[in-house]
Structure formats: structure tokens, C-alpha cells
Amino acid sequence: MSVGRTGEVKVSERGQMALPAQARHRWGLEVGGTISWVDLGDAVLLLPTSVDELRDELLAAADWEAAGVGFGDPELANQ
């Protein structure tokens, strides 16, 4: 599998999304497995919980002052 793949998934009425099988297999995600998510203000980043160290580094590097004002989007401010 190539690194850097992107794609789109649909959100169901219940708010569920299906991660493509290739990504689940690559990251060892089994039924009942967990994924961490990071709200970046203008995007949501999904990370396998196996990379918690990366998540912590991303959180430390985030511009939370800009996030607090919605990255220029008043609808995102203070969410």
C-alpha cells in the first residue's frame, strides 16, 4: 500500500464512517479497535491509537490560539 493515500467516506445517519479495508489492514485495526481523533479547528485528523506519541506531538505543535478563534471562521470559534 502506498503512503499518503487519501479518500472520502460518507457519514451515516448515526454518525458512523467506514474506513477502507486497505487502511484498516495497514494499521492493524480489528473489529472493536479504536482510533484517536484530533480536532484541528478546520479539519479532523484520525489516528490509530497505536501512534499516541504522534498525536501528542501534534497537539503540542497546534496553534490553539488560532483554533480558539476558529481559524478565521466565526462558526468554528470556541467550539
pTM beyond 0.75, yes or no: no
What contacts 56, CB < 8 A, 6 or more positions away?
none
CA-closest candidate to residue 39, choices 18, 16, 59: 59
* Alpha carbon distance 49, 17 (integer Å): 17
Residue 73 confidence class, pLDDT cut points 50, 70, 90: low
User: For 41-68, what is each residue's pLDDT tens digit?
Assistant: 777 878 887 777 776 777 677 665 655 5
